[in-house]
C-alpha cells in the first residue's frame, strides 16, 4: 500500500503507470466513480484494497451518460475532499481526467448494448447506459485493471457492465458490492446532497417500500402486482414522492416478473421533489 497517492490527469501517464504494474506482475484493482464520495464508494475502495496489489480510483463526471435535461452541470463536485478520502482509503492512484482528455473534438465511437439498457432506468434515461458502457470500457483500456468494483445500488449499470465485459471478451473481472445505507436505510448516493431536510425525511420511503416487498416475499406472496401496489402505496404516502418505475424483475435479464418464485429483484426509481433516486433489493431468500 502506497503511503503517497499519485494524482494523474493524462491518459498517457495513467497507462504508463498501469503498464509498469503489469510488467511487475502486480494486480490492479479499479474503482470508477463520478466523485463527491461517500461511504458507499469507500466500501468499494476497501474491497479493492484488500484484493489487489495496487488500487486506482477514478473521479470523472462523464458527460455522455447525462441526458440534455439532466444534472450534468450541477452534479456535486468536491475534488479536494475526494482526494483526501481516497488517500485515507489507501488508493495508489487517483485518475481525474478532464472531459476533453477522454472525448476529443472528433470523438465518434460508442458501446451500445441491445437489450439490457431498454427497461427500468433506460426508459426515462435513453442513451444513459451507452454513455456508461463507453466510459467504463475506455477507462478499462487506460487503467488495465484485473478487477473492477461496482455497487449493486446501480444494479442495471452493474448488469450492463457484466454483459459488456462478457460480450466483448474484456479480461477485467467485475466485482459487484453490496449497497451501503444511511442508518435509516436510505441508500447512500451523491445525489442525496440535493435533498432538502423535508425531502430527506421523505426519501426513506424507498427503503421502506423495499422492506415491504421483502416482508411479502418472506410470507411467500407470489403475485407481483400485490408487491407493486404495496410498494407504490408506501411511496405515494409522501407528498413530494413520485415513482418513475417500481418493478419486480429477473436479476439476470431485468425483465418484469408477473409471478415471484425463485430469485427476484425489487427495483425502483422515485423522484423526491426534483431529485431522482434509485434503489433495489434482492428477494432471493
Binding positions for ligand AMP, 81-100, rule CB under 6 A: none
Closest CA to 201 of 213, 223, 184: 184
Task: Confirm or reject binding of residue 234 to ligand AMP (CB under 6 A).
Answer: no
Q: In the bound complex, what is the minimum distance in angstroms from residue 92's beta carbon to ligand AMP?
A: 18
Identify the active-site residue in 38, 41, 128, 207.
41
Q: From the list 83, 159, 179, 247, which residue makes contact with ligand AMP (rule: CB under 6 A)? A: 179
Given its phi and psi angles, is residue 72 left (phi above 0), alpha (psi -120 to 50 degrees) or beta?
alpha
41 is catalytic: yes
Task: Confirm or reject binding of residue 41 to ligand AMP (CB under 6 A).
Answer: yes
Task: Confirm or reject binding of residue 189 to ligand AMP (CB under 6 A).
Answer: yes
Given its phi and psi angles, is residue 193 left (phi above 0), alpha (psi -120 to 50 degrees) or beta?
alpha
Q: Contact, 121 vs 84, CB < 8 A?
A: no
Of residues 66 and 227, the one with the C-beta less far from ligand AMP? 66
The strand pairing partners of 176, in sequence order, are: 150
Q: In the bound complex, what is the minimum distance in angstroms from residue 68's beta carbon to ligand AMP?
A: 19
Helix (H) or strand (E) holding 270: strand 265-272
Part in contact with ligand AMP (CB under 6 A); list of ranges 81-89, 102-110, 183-191, 272-280: 183-191
Q: What is the 3-class SS of 198-221, one letter each residue?
A: HHHHHCHHHHHHHHHHHHHHHCCC
Distance CA 186, CA 192 (A): 9
Of residues 150 and 194, the one with the C-beta less far from ligand AMP? 150
Q: In the bound complex, what is the minimum distance in angstroms from residue 86's beta carbon to ligand AMP?
A: 12
Task: Confirm or reject binding of residue 188 to ligand AMP (CB under 6 A).
Answer: yes
Distance CA 169, CA 182 (A): 37
- Phi/psi at 39 (5° precision): -65, -20
Q: From the list 18, 30, 40, 199, which residue makes contact with ligand AMP (rule: CB under 6 A)? A: 40
- Phi/psi at 201 (5° precision): -65, -40
Part in contact with ligand AMP (CB under 6 A); list of ranges 87-95, 103-111, 147-155, 211-219: 147-155
Q: Contact, 144 vs 28, CB < 8 A?
A: yes
The footprint of ligand AMP (CB under 6 A) covers 33-34, 40-41, 43-44, 150-151, 153-154, 177, 179-180, 187-190
Write out the catalytic residue numbers. Answer: 41
Amino acid at each position: 500500500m502506497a503511503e503517497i497517492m499519485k494524482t494523474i490527469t493524462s491518459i498517457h501517464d495513467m497507462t504508463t503507470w498501469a503498464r509498469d504494474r503489469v510488467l511487475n506482475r502486480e494486480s490492479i484493482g479499479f474503482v470508477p466513480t463520478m466523485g463527491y464520495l461517500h461511504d458507499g464508494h469507500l466500501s468499494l475502495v476497501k474491497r479493492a484494497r484488500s484484493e489487489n496489489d495496487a488500487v486506482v480510483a477514478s473521479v470523472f463526471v462523464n458527460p455522455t451518460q447525462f441526458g440534455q435535461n439532466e444534472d450534468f452541470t450541477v452534479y456535486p463536485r468536491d475534488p479536494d475532499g475526494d482526494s483526501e478520502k481516497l488517500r485515507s482509503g489507501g488508493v495508489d492512484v487517483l485518475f481525474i481526467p478532464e472531459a476533453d482528455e477522454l472525448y476529443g473534438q472528433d470523438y465518434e465511437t460508442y458501446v451500445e448494448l441491445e437489450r439490457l439498457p431498454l427497461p427500468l432506468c433506460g426508459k426515462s434515461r435513453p442513451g444513459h447506459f451507452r454513455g456508461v458502457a463507453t466510459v467504463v470500457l475506455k477507462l478499462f483500456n487506460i487503467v488495465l485493471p484485473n478487477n473492477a468494483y461496482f455497487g449493486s445500488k446501480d444494479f442495471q449499470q452493474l448488469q450492463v457492465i457484466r454483459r459488456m465485459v462478457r460480450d466483448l471478451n474484456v479480461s477485467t473481472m467485475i466485482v459487484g458490492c453490496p449497497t451501503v445505507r444511511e442508518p435509516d436505510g436510505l441508500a447512500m448516493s451523491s445525489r442525496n446532497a440535493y435533498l432538502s431536510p423535508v425531502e430527506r425525511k421523505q426519501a426513506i420511503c424507498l427503503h421502506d417500500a423495499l422492506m415491504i416487498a421483502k416482508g411479502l416475499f418472506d410470507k411467500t406472496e407470489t403475485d407481483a402486482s400485490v408487491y407493486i401496489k404495496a410498494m407504490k402505496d408506501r411511496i405515494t404516502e409522501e407528498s413530494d414522492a413520485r415513482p418513475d418505475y417500481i418493478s419486480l424483475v429477473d436479476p439476470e435479464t431485468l425483465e418484469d416478473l408477473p409471478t415471484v418464485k425463485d430469485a427476484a429483484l425489487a427495483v425502483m426509481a422515485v423522484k423526491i421533489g426534483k431529485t431522482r433516486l434509485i434503489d433495489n433489493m434482492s428477494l432471493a431468500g
